Amino acid sequence: MENAHKRKKQPEVVRRALLDAAARIAVEQGLAAVTVQSVADAAGVTKGGFLHHFPSKQALLDTLFQEMLDQIDDNIDRRMVADPVAHGTFTRAYLEAVLHDGLPSKVNPWAALSVSMLTEPELRTLWVEWFRKRLDRHRETDADIGLAIVRLAADGIWLADLAELPLPDRARLRERLLEATRPR
């Protein structure tokens, strides 16, 4: 490690390195392996450097999770803008974002962090708040019970992928779910 007194300070670069290191550790080794020391070591900073940017491991995880939600939000918004059919537009965009354009969820580098919301109350709260806001925003187009079933099915596929459960024809599943979002 370079001498911190001689190195030019680049707080945003260091902060990004800490976030990237934490995400990498979570994906490769699981969330339990994400510790202040392991992240600091992987990012090439001191423990004090870590604590300068994030007051705790939980603050780091919250930031990572919020970044993931922002990326999902951007992905969904891009898909919605391109969708000419108003009815079910959020649900179709959500389905496509969750299914990662036909790739199994385990390929997604955020998978380890995403699944952690099931056991981490703080992350689960962030997810619930995000999801409620999205549903409130799209109540006019996506309040239908059939669309709720499609979103729940998409979540089920995502969890099946994470558990590496065998699925029948994935492309056909996707098409059937998309079909269920179209107005009749």
CATH number at residue 20: 1.10.10.60
Q: How many domains, the chain?
A: 2
- pLDDT (0 to 100) of residue 148: 96
Using alpha carbons only, what angle is made at residue 111 by residues 108 and 113, rounded to the nearest 5 degrees? Answer: 135
Cα gap 162→158, rounded to integer Å: 6
**Percent residues over pLDDT 70 in the chain:** 87
Q: What is the pLDDT of residues 73-106, one digit of tens each?
A: 898 999 999 999 999 999 999 999 887 754 445 5
Query: Which range of residues forms the domain containing residue 18?
Result: 1-55
Report pLDDT for 177.
Answer: 96
Nearest CA-CA partner of 126 in 113, 139, 138, 137: 113
40, 46 Cβ separation under 8 angstroms: yes
Report whether 123 contacts 183 (CB < 8 A).
Answer: no
The pTM of the whole model exceeds 0.85: no
Domain boundary among 30, 55, 80: 55
CA quadruple 139, 148, 114, 121: dihedral, nearest 10? 80
The pLDDT-based confidence of 14 (bands split at 50, 70, 90) is: very high
Q: How confident is the model at residue 178 (pLDDT cuts 50, 70, 90)?
A: very high
User: Do 71 and 19 sit in the same domain of this protein?
Assistant: no
**In contact, 79 and 93? CB cutoff 8 Å:** yes
Q: What is the average pLDDT score of the chain?
A: 85
Instruction: Give the pLDDT score at 48.
Output: 93
Residue 181: predicted pLDDT:
96
CA distance 180 to 57: 41
